[in-house]
Amino acid sequence: MIRKATVQDVPAIYQLLKRYADRGELLARSLSDLYDAVRDFSVFKEKAGAPIIGICALHVCWEDLAEIRSLAVDERHQRRGIGSALVAEALAEAPQLGIRRVFTLTYRPDFFDKHGFHVIDKSSLPHKVWAECVRCVKFPNCDETAMLRIL
């Protein structure tokens, strides 16, 4: 079951992201940042009342550009199509917002390749995209792959 996140989901979103951020696999986000961006997030639960086991954000960056970010699935539930379902949900939402291009910065390019994304040069993205990168421990030596999908 995929639904839009609510403010009540933010602590669980934070905990799931923190596990990956502590390993350097995702950008850490503060509780304050998550409350600010709660409308960007969708969550996956196996059923109502069950814990959140997957999350994904679609963040609007520019007039026709959005980013898929903070995609995470609990390790015990991976390889079941949850991440793919969350990406499909984000890609379906994008045109409703007037978005024609969706990008991601990822350590898993093979996963996004299966969803129609292709590798691009990071420098082709607007400077506005890099505003959050200064908080990353790897800045300015980003080793993520930039990928784009045209809708």
Q: Is the pLDDT of residue 43 over 80?
A: yes
Q: Is the pLDDT of residue 1 over 80?
A: yes
Decide: helix, strand or coil at residue 9: helix
pTM: 0.90
Q: Is the pLDDT of residue 5 over 60?
A: yes
pLDDT of 128: 59
Q: Is the pLDDT of residue 147 over 70?
A: yes
CA 12 to chain centre: 15
CATH class of 2-150: alpha beta
Give the pLDDT mean for 113-134: 79
Q: Give which of 73, 3, 81 is closest to 42, Cα–Cα.
A: 3
- Give the H or E element holding residue 138: none
Neighbours of 63 (CB within 10 A): 8
Share of the chain above pLDDT 70, in %: 89
Give the pLDDT mean for 136-146: 68
Distance (Å, whole) CA 120 – CA 112: 12
Neighbours of 28 (CB within 10 A): 15
CA distances from residue 78 to 48, 51, 55, 119, 140 in whole angstroms, order as listed: 20, 15, 12, 24, 30
Sheet holding 145-150, edge to edge: 2-4, 41-45, 52-62, 65-73, 101-106, 145-150, 118-119
49: left (phi over 0), alpha (psi -120 to 50) or beta: left
Higher pLDDT, 78 or 55: 55
